[in-house]
Amino acid sequence: MLNAHSIRRRLLLAGTAGLATAAALPAAAKAANPSRPAESASLVEPDIDSCEEWNARPPSGSISILQTPPNKIIVHHTVSENTSDFSREQAHAHARWVQDLHMDDNGWSDTGYHFVNSRGGWITEGRHDSLATLTAGNGLVLGAHTSGQGQNYEAIGISNEGAYHDGAVPPDAQWETLVLMCAYVCVQYAIPATEIYGHMDFDATQCPGIFHEMLPQLRDEVATAIGG
Ligand SMILES: [Zn+2]
């Protein structure tokens, strides 16, 4: 579906990570056509609203940037209301809700996740500097999303707005943007599409709910999006 949101996505130019040049196509179009040869794979860069754009609070402590790049993606859900408001404004309000929860209730210095994906498919930066390091494809902001097995030191944490441990399924817009975002992260950091996990793989938690059951599909669609 072509909407204002997808139009705003920008072509990720070939060369960033050695991808071949090709025409820009929405991620969903590529996923629907897995027979496309790898050499014609293309990828659009997701449009990510920075902390400044959603009016984040400043962090209460220093942000640590690790020089070792991430080796995996860990998917989460935020256990917020499964809203039917798919607007960008709702994505920003939700980002502020997550930050308040993590700073005021958990006592953390900032949002624990690196990125948050709204039910309407709007992506917001989580912890400050996550977007700059992703864009550079260099360095990992030390997050607070998966304490098990030291994964905060190794993994990019992407969380999805909503609660998915009780039978709910993600809206199409959210799923498509998750695929696109994971593909972009994989390209930027040279992470194989097989290295996408769920929070429950490392901690005793129900997070990320049904997204965990959908990980094989997510890995497949990301692999297709990045051309193999
Ligand atoms: Zn989680």
- Region for residue 30 given its phi and psi (left: phi exceeds 0; alpha: psi -120 to 50; beta: otherwise): alpha
Q: What is the pLDDT of residue 44?
A: 77
Beta-bridge mates of residue 158? 75, 115
Class of domain 48-225: alpha beta
> In the prediction, which pLDDT does 30 show?
33
Give the distance (Å) from ligand 1 centre to CA of residue 90: 21
Q: How far is the CA of 8 from the centre of ligand 1 (A)?
A: 29
Dist. CA 11 → ligand 1 center (Å): 30
Q: How far is the CA of 197 from the centre of ligand 1 (A)?
A: 11
- Compute, in angstroms, the gap from residue 162 CA to the centroid of ligand 1: 12
User: How remote is the CA of residue 65 from the centroid of ligand 1, in Å?
Assistant: 21
pLDDT tens-place string over residues 53-100: 999 999 999 999 999 999 999 999 999 999 999 999 999 999 999 999
Q: Can you give the pLDDT at residue 75?
A: 98
Cα 26 to ligand 1 centre (Å) = 28
Q: Which residues of the chain have pLDDT under 70?
A: 1-42, 228
Where do the domains of the chain lie?
A: 48-225
DSSP string covering 21-38, please?
P-----HHHHHT-TTS-G
